[in-house]
Structure formats: C-alpha cells, structure tokens
Structure 1
Amino acid sequence: MALYVKDAEVARMAERLAMLRRISKKEAVRSALQHELEREEAVPSLVERGLEFARALRARGNPGKAAKTDKAFIDSLYGES
C-alpha cells in the first residue's frame, strides 16, 4: 500500500532527514516512525505506573508501627468522641 504525503512541510522534513542521513525519503520516514513507535512503547501504561506506585508504597510501609484502627481511632479522625 502506498503512502502519499500531501503536506509540504512533512515532505520537506522527510527530505531533510533523508539528506542528513544519506538515505531515501522512504527510509527516513520508516526510521522516524520506528523511532517514535519504540519511544511510545517504552512509556509505561497507566496500569503499570499504578502497580509500581503500589509496590513502592508497600515497600515503604511498616505494619508493625501501624496505629490501632478501632472505632475510637476512626472517630478521632472525624473529631468525634
């Protein structure tokens, strides 16, 4: 399937990259797209970031030092006696 670039600015950028790298415009577009795909795929997803945050939080926690969470403690959070 052919890819036609109808945007003059995009065509100029592809030509410039091709000249700098001494490759064809097709190879310039291919390498630029490959680079962007690799960059996007390297970014962790929101789920992965959330899991990493949860792991780091768990690692920092110390259940032995946790305050007792009974009714009196919960009421103290809300200013109730």
Structure 2
Amino acid sequence: MASLYIKDGETAELASRIARRLGTTKTEAVRRALLKVEAELGPQAAKQSTVEWLREYRRDHPLPPPTGLKADKAFFDELWGEDPD
C-alpha cells in the first residue's frame, strides 16, 4: 500500500476540514477531489501516443534549416583529425 504525505500544513488542514464536512477520512476527501479533477480534464488526460507526442514536440521545437554539409565518412574523419583515405 502506498502512502501520500502532505508536507504543506495549510493543505493538510484543508484536507482535514473537507473530510470533516463530508463525514469521511482525509484519504477519501483527497480521492474524491482527485477524481473530480480527473473528470474535469476529460479525455485530454489520457496518455498520448508516442507518435502524437513526437508530432507536437517537432511542431514546438522545429529543426534548424539544412546547412548543405554532408555528414559522410570524410566529414567525420576530418572532425577526428584523421587523414582521408
């Protein structure tokens, strides 16, 4: 069983007040609140597919324009200071 420790005193007190008003435990009060938020988020809360995530990432972080340089063996040999064949 996992535990949830609320470190913020004000938030812990809020959970206690809500639990008392509902006549339930703090755990149940927090569970109800989280379920309500999840319902408000709706289908958007569902996990994105990797393809959708990549599409959005590429839209928000486009690649720079091409430089015209070739990244072939000669290019990498030159980077490493090696003599071309």
TM-score between both structures, scaled by the size of structure 1: 0.49
Larger helix proportion of the pair: 1
TM-score between both structures, scaled by the size of structure 2: 0.47
Considering Cα pairs closer than 8 Å and 6+ residues apart, tell me whether 1 or 2 has the greater RCO.
1
